[in-house]
Amino acid sequence: MPKNHRTPFRTSRQDIDATQRIKRTPQTQSDAYKLAFTDQDFLTSEALRGVRFQLEYLKPELMLQEKGIDSTVVLFGGARIPAPGEEAKLGKTKQAKENLKKASRYYDEARLFAQYASLASKTFENKEYVVVTGGGPGIMEAGNLGAKQVGADSIAFNIVLPHEQAPNLHVTPELCFNFHYFATRKIHFLLRAKVVAIFPGGFGTLDEFFETLTLIQTGRMEKIPLLMFGKSFWDKAINFEALAEAGTISPNDTDLITIVDSAKEGWGVVRKFYDLPVIEL
């Protein structure tokens, strides 16, 4: 965390230590006597929701500033997409195993795309194009792995779920964050994003994709490369032409998206958009 500016006043840490040494009495052991910022029941109360939002925004923001991370390349995609050869561990039926076997190629494309971004990042003096994922398995794991394989740092924005989702082991530990609120997590995903890459996935991936697309379409976010990997998958999953024909979106709105099928093709779009040097894997 950033170091606190030196002041002549006692620090909060010093007062925490002081209260721990004080004599135990009914008064000092009461909830009322606890320092407000050490009282878990108070901090997690309904009335403090806004404060928790602020804290959850500030902690990653200050730490990323301290690390000098100026921009990111965001990879969204399904947690269930396996690495090649791992599909048999997830599929419960013969059809599911076959589908996952086909989908496993996106794991490799995500890994390679993260390598392109990470190698491009190394051409800058400051930290640009740093890979960020949701920190879980599947496509997220592939993104963090790709960065690690070329010796680059990567970020994870994990979230606490009812079923355990531990961070994958390829995330840079000091850049592995955990969130309670989806809202603050989404802010951090896009706050520094220069590229958003969408790989096949489920509800979570669709939520992240449509939120990004809506922000760009409404002008709330500047236009950046918004890549969708896997034409055959997305042609079945989303019928953009039907939306345009129904008049619920503008025919030009589909120009905000670029559909690609490989990491090399996708990075070519990014390279052209930002006039970046050629990267060879």
For residues 146 and 121, the answer to whether their CB atoms sit within 8 Å is no
b/e map 200-239, b = 16+ CB within 10 Å: bbeebbeebbeebbeebbeeebeebbbbbbbeebbeeeee
Pairing mode of beta strands 176-179, 193-198 = unpaired
* pLDDT given for residue 164 in this prediction: 67
The pLDDT tens digits for 30-47 are 999 999 999 999 999 999
The pLDDT tens digits for 51-61 are 999 999 999 99
Whether the pLDDT of residue 186 is over 80: the answer is: yes
The pLDDT tens digits for 249-262 are 999 999 999 999 99
* pLDDT given for residue 85 in this prediction: 82
Average of per-residue pLDDT values in the chain: 93
Predicted confidence band of residue 88 (pLDDT cuts 50, 70, 90): low
* pLDDT given for residue 270 in this prediction: 98
The candidate with the shortest Cα–Cα distance to 60, out of 191, 252, 165, is 191
Q: Which residues have a Cβ under 8 Å from the Cβ of 212 and sit 6 or more positions away?
A: 190, 193, 196, 221, 226
Q: Looking at this protein, which amino acid is placed at residue 138? A: G
pTM of the full structure: 0.92
Residue-range domains of the chain with CATH: 57-274 (3.40.50.450)
* pLDDT given for residue 244 in this prediction: 93
3-state secondary structure at position 85: coil
